[in-house]
Amino acid sequence: MRFDQLKTFLTVARTGSFSVAAKELRITQGTVSNHVAALEEYFGTALFKRATKGVETTDAGKILKESAEKMLEEVENAKAKISSVKHKLAGVIRIVASSVPGEHIIPSLIAEFQKKHPDVKFRIKAEDSFTSLSDLQANYADFAAVGTIIGYEEKFDAIEVGEEELVLIVSCNHELSKQKTVKLNEIVKYPYINREETSGTRKEIEKIFTDAKIPLSKLKTALELGSTESVITAVSEGSGVSIISSIASEKAQAASLVKIVHIEDINHTRKLYMVRPKRKLLKTSEVFWEFCKEYTFKNVAVSCQRN
């Protein structure tokens, strides 16, 4: 019996699907089946049974699920205790980050942290908010930097590392580019550039329209794109308008890529979060977490001076 087999078993138990577990774990479905089969041979009984949708644990599987969760938690606790006895702060911190925190907050936060702890390295992976939170839950990362924690409030600990307004951006020659403000119901007149469905920004925007009683079906969605930077590019090229982060848009406007138009009839700010598992982490990660609690993000949109 191996720890990777237990991790595979727990993922299948949580998702109720061999194929979904394989996708989450980034292994083949055959490997998932082999891990489960090895455990069933070890314990001499079936651990899963077919259900209406996918699979569910048998009585034996339920017993193993409870024990496996405790075993893996104890392993993580042991790693954390061993880490705490090390004198030198070093190691690699893994962070999954959605567009705005990953592109505009994490770089300066890490730079400040590494001034104090230069031997700590970081591995950053770009995902949307909900994929980031899913990866954190599957233990593919130590932290997630995201723009929403909707649906995960009870599963993780979270601290605010930034705050932003959501604003409309248009191309520099758009008919709205000379306006300072626009009403929310005017936006639906124009082709709209949207983020993908699992984007935290998109979830927040959909809530704004819903609260204003404007049907989402009225949005003339021309494109759906996977990052804030790709949205800015599409808008700058005249493909449509979009509502995005004020942090990202101020830098894009400073670079003369787009124009910002504030939305009149909403008073909405969005918090940006650093998220961690509730369990104890390695010493290096715990020190980083304490640093994040004290960190204050300052958005500075710098443009090069022209000669």
Residue 137 near residue 15, CB atoms below 8 Å: no
Say what the pLDDT of residue 31 is: 95
Q: Which two tokens stand for residue 183?
A: 């009403």
Task: Give the confidence band of 307 by pLDDT, cuts at 50, 70, 90.
Answer: very low
- Is-contact 125 236, C-beta < 8 A? no
pLDDT in tens, 190-225: 999 998 887 878 888 888 898 889 999 999 999 999
User: Using an 8 Å Cβ cutoff, are 272 and 162 in contact?
Assistant: yes
Over the stretch 123-169, which tens digit does the pLDDT of each residue have? Answer: 999 888 888 998 898 888 999 999 888 888 888 999 998 888 889 99
What average pLDDT does range 241-246 have in this prediction? 90
Q: Which CATH class is domain 3-84?
A: mainly alpha
* 100-131 tens-digit pLDDT: 888 888 998 999 999 989 989 999 998 888 88
Assigned token pair, 61: 């599987």
Which of 131, 76, 39, 156 has the alpha carbon at shortest distance from 13? Answer: 39
Cα(216)–Cα(212) distance, integer angstroms? 10
Average pLDDT over residues 235-264: 91
The CATH number assigned to the domain with range 164-269 reads 3.40.190.10
CA–CA separation, 12 and 16 (whole Å): 5
256-281 mean pLDDT: 87
Superfamily per CATH, domain 91-162+270-294:
Periplasmic binding protein-like II (3.40.190.10)
Closest by Cα among 299, 295, 307 to 100: 299
**Mean pLDDT in the chain?**
88
Residue type at position 216: L
Domain 91-162+270-294 matches domain 164-269 at the CATH topology level: yes
Tokens encoding 161: 């590392």
**Extents of the domains making up the chain:** 3-84, 91-162+270-294, 164-269
The secondary structure of residue 181, as a DSSP letter, is E
Distances in Å between the alpha carbon of 5 and those of 42, 111, 141? 11, 37, 19
* DSSP classification of residue 197: T
